Structure 1
Amino acid sequence: MPIATTNPTTGIVERTFDAIDEAEVERRIAAAAAAVAPLTASTFAERAGWMRAAADLIEADGDELARLITVEIGRPIAQSRAEVGKCARGMRFYAEHAESFLAPEWLSDPSSVGASAAGTRYEPIGVVLAVMPWNYPFWQALRFAAPALMAGNVGLLKHASNVPQAALYLDTLFERAGFPAGSFASLLIPASGVERVMRDPRIAAATLTGSEPAGRSLAAIAGSEIKHVVLELGGSDPFVVMPSADVAAAAAVAVRARTQNSGQSCIAAKRFIVHADVHDEFLAAFSERMAALSVGDPLDEATDVGPLATESGRDELADLVDDARQQGADIAVGGTRPDRPGWFYPPTVISGVTPAMRLYAEEAFGPVATVFRVADAAEAVAVANATTFGLSSAVWTNDSAEEDHFVRALAAGGVFVNGMTASYPELPFGGVKASGVGRELSAAGIREFCNLKTVWKS
């Protein structure tokens, strides 16, 4: 993929960028390594001041950044503004809480280990490589950068090639805010250049948000180098609706859960698993609401769903739907590629999906929802877990026993009851199975890239 801004609304390439050469890659890695000592030596208070200054810059540039997001990936502008605001909040969260999250922890009775004092402390590990996707071009990068920098680590960002302007903005953000030179930098390199960086001995660890194949590739390199990784990969999240639920409310939230970022979110609900007693009611309400969404220019405030970010992504989504249609699935809404410029695909609702169809197991990265009819809670769990993914999940029920059952039985990194999956700085985020390893956000996220050092004193 060329390093370029291609407007998904028009399909027109607006700006292209040259990849940096090997000499510049080396210069940036060396600058990052040189920044480790001054950043480690800084205090939490100093880093918090710089992080708040970076959040201030993000907010001051908010309108410009929201438009940039929309032009580079096609997201509706109101949602782009929300991403910018979420970034600033997340940065301030870590500025406030990093010191307490990483405070030393001492045994109350060290004599149990034959010591006068014993416990643990968290220390930064050095330079961390972040390989980030395009779908939340600022939030994905900053939810790594904020905790990493507040812990005293240095960050290098290899961003997706279709959001180069976002990468270049982040390249200078933290130095503008006061962090030592080299504390954070972007590498405009193709995906083929990641292995060279990852194998550099000055790189201590890596984090990747993206596809399962990309995660497997990075993990294999990290394993051979004995380097720690955090991986947040794909998801095909279930959204379960039981008879005790408020079905109308569930259908309304289901639309937002499926179409956030025009459906291009790892944690978007994708498989709607509905008890037979309320299946028809839910399907009708859900389909009506999906059909009513406004699809169009993402810079228009009234637009609900914009184009998909890439032509290949749109084509892959259309192929999934066509495969299901050819094998007998019922298309309640949408399902036809529009004849217009840009990479649009309509909100689509499909039922009657069987294991023979690709949509049964593959992630639909766009505004396409599959609805399943199940007989009871046991079948709902079986269908929900019948995938290699396990990122997050949602369950709608007003029965406390059912709630407890689903919270325990769903194989996922999160369960949201009577709501839709979202990420919050206060809560850990990540998945199980092929959806990844490790956690981002909360105290768990900042501790991922720290050395947990044991201290024992006689």
Structure 2
Amino acid sequence: MTTTVTLPAQRDLIDGQWSVPAELPEAPLCHPDTGEPLQARTQTAPDAVHRAIAAAESLHRKGSWRTSPITDRIAFLRRVAAALEARLDEIAAADSLTSGVVRTVTGMFADGLPDVFRAAATRLAAEPGEQSLSGSTGPVRLLHLPWGPTAVIAPWNASTFTVAKKTAFALAAGAPVIAKPSGWAPSGPVLFAEVLAGAIADAEAPPALFQLVHGDSETGQLLAQDSRIRALAFTGGRVAGAEIARAAAGHSTALQLELGSNNPVVVRADADVAATADALVAGFTKLNGQWCESPGSVFVPAELHDALRDAILDQLRTIRLGSCLDPTSTMGPQANRPQFDRVADAVKRLTQHGATATSTTGLPDLPGWFHAPAVVHDADPGDTLDELFGPVLTLHRTHSDREAVELANRCHTGLAGYVFGADLDAALALGAQLDCGEVKINGTSVLDLHPESTQGFWGGSGTGAHGDAELLRFFRGARIVGVDNPAFPI
């Protein structure tokens, strides 16, 4: 099943004004089901990017948003949440076409967008950013204030959700935002920007409060290297993240970098093989394998290896790989041709080194970028250190929990880890040894473990953390103001 779809026009939003960025001549956006070109990718002109930065800096200097009453900011965030409700279907459809993720799943992400803004409002009400302390000779106030103009750079997977969540909490902190989605997934963020622009106009808020620019690494570099950008949240690959960090290093921009991670799985000898297989298949086919916390390298006791492999392959037979717009599909195509090629090349490289790759999921009769989920076994663990970022799971035999943890921590990991076992105390103890910011026991869900969850980005997987509390704190800096004590001895 495919359908004729028109993506929304890509437009820049700069200081309240819409304009059309230049089209790029190569590699258009294509329908992932068919490879049919849908729309040219675009690039915002450098002078337009600088105008956006100047508008954001001017707004921050004037202080009309950062000094606005907390109640006004909360009311605005709730206004945006309400306005988003009417556009969720459009956003979900656009996100499906630019990611290949099935429409039923992008719909769940879209449905969560209003809640993101409500959560930011709730967090701001709980942490308004000012605390009165008792000084020895007079009042002391501990303030948490916005760093300044903020850039949000989002990836092509879950692009709209990433832009929305980071934007919501930056606005709550009092910062103006310039968002740049991936050039491969601009459509949902454009629809989101339309909602923001409408809410800004209705609330008579400053037009530079939220701005949108387009492009790939060139636009991202312009934002990162500009000293007027005082905070930058980037989600994407490790190579691009390192480039952003280098560009921003000269002026000490506050950085939150959520990068790639090969997320290890440790299966203990007492694990339920069938339940483990079900959870792993759900995890590494979720979002078509295109999510940064997808299970990657699985370390399993040698005596369970073959049974687990066979159980995973049995479960993969139930996956219905098909059109991203077909409501009966449970998995869709890879997002774009470069992504498909990366996954296919990674599997080919492993098999050339002696590994075996197996899949039992049927391919649809469609010409798009469909990659069947694959189980790779008998690979050297040294060949699977990096994140594959696709529907590929590697299985490795181990002979003890200790060996499994050592191999897991050699992976280029840091975001997420998984442990499967019947003895929950033992599984929790083992999970605490994995060098990852979040370790889930007996499951592979996308959702946080707890409403107050905080997940640090360990090792090369980034800097900072996410979780609602951490996100609001990232966009603000501490400033303490008070009456000094002249009697202090030094």
TM-score class normalised by the smaller sequence: over 0.9
Distance 2:137 2:374 in 1: 64
Q: Pick from 18, 28, 31: which aligns with 2:55?
A: 31
Q: Offset of 1:456 from its aligned partner?
A: 3.5
Q: Offset of 1:94 from its aligned partner?
A: 1.1
Is 1:278–2:304 an aligned residue pair?
yes
Match of 1:167 in 2: 189
2:46 counterpart letter in structure 1: E
Aligned CA-pair RMSD? 2.3
1:300 counterpart letter in structure 2: D
Preserved CA contact (<8 Å) 2:49 2:222: no
Q: Pick from 433, 437, 440: which aligns with 1:413?
A: 437
Match of 1:384 in 2: 408
Q: Offset of 1:100 from its aligned partner?
A: 1.4
Q: Pick from 287, 302, 307: which aligns with 2:333?
A: 307
Q: Pick from 253, 256, 262: which aligns with 1:230?
A: 256
Q: Offset of 1:30 from its aligned partner?
A: 2.4
Is 1:393–2:399 an aligned residue pair?
no
Alignment partner of 2:293: what SS? coil
Preserved CA contact (<8 Å) 1:428 1:445: no
Preserved CA contact (<8 Å) 2:320 2:362: no
Q: Write the mapping of 1:13-412 to structure 2, written as runs, cut at 5 A.
A: 13-16=37-40, 18-36=42-60, 37-105=63-131, 110=134, 114=136, 116-118=138-140, 120-178=142-200, 179-333=205-359, 340-355=366-381, 357=383, 360-412=384-436
Q: Offset of 1:19 from its aligned partner?
A: 2.4
Alignment partner of 2:159: what SS? coil
Alignment partner of 2:465: what SS? coil
Distance 1:32 1:337 in 2: 48
Is 1:455–2:481 an aligned residue pair?
yes
Preserved CA contact (<8 Å) 2:299 2:397: yes
Provide, for residues 229-274 of structure 1, a one-character-per-residue CA deviation record: whole Å limited to 9, x for no partner: 1100001111222133333222111111111110000011112222
Q: Offset of 1:419 from its aligned partner?
A: 1.7
2:32 counterpart letter in structure 1: P
Q: Write the mapping of 1:2-21 to structure 2, written as runs, cut at 5 A.
A: 4-16=28-40, 18-21=42-45
Preserved CA contact (<8 Å) 1:295 1:305: yes
Q: Offset of 1:16 from its aligned partner?
A: 2.1
Distance 2:185 2:426 in 1: 43
Segments of 5+ residues of structure 2 without an aligned counterpart are: 1-23, 485-490
Alignment partner of 2:466: what SS? coil
Preserved CA contact (<8 Å) 2:173 2:476: yes
Provide, for residues 92-112 of structure 1, a one-character-per-residue CA deviation record: whole Å limited to 9, x for no partner: 1111121313443455xx56x
Q: Offset of 1:289 from its aligned partner?
A: 0.7
Please say which of residues 19-28 and 361-370 is displaced more in the overlay.
19-28
Q: Offset of 1:405 from its aligned partner?
A: 2.5
Distance 1:246 1:190 in 2: 44
Preserved CA contact (<8 Å) 2:261 2:414: yes
Provide, for residues 180-218 of structure 1, a one-character-per-residue CA deviation record: whole Å limited to 9, x for no partner: 311111112331133233233321121110010111111
Among all aligned residue pairs of Structure 1 and Structure 2, give the percentage whose two residues are the same amino acid.
27
Is 1:428–2:450 an aligned residue pair?
no
Residues 143/430 of structure 1: CA separation in 2 closer, same or farther (3 Å cut): farther
Provide, for residues 49-108 of structure 1, a one-character-per-residue CA deviation record: whole Å limited to 9, x for no partner: 22122222222111111111111221101101011022222221111121313443455x
Residues 24/225 of structure 1: CA separation in 2 closer, same or farther (3 Å cut): same
Distance 2:323 2:40 in 1: 23
**Normalising to structure 2: TM-score of the pair?**
0.86
Q: Offset of 1:356 from its aligned partner?
A: 5.1
1:255 counterpart letter in structure 2: V
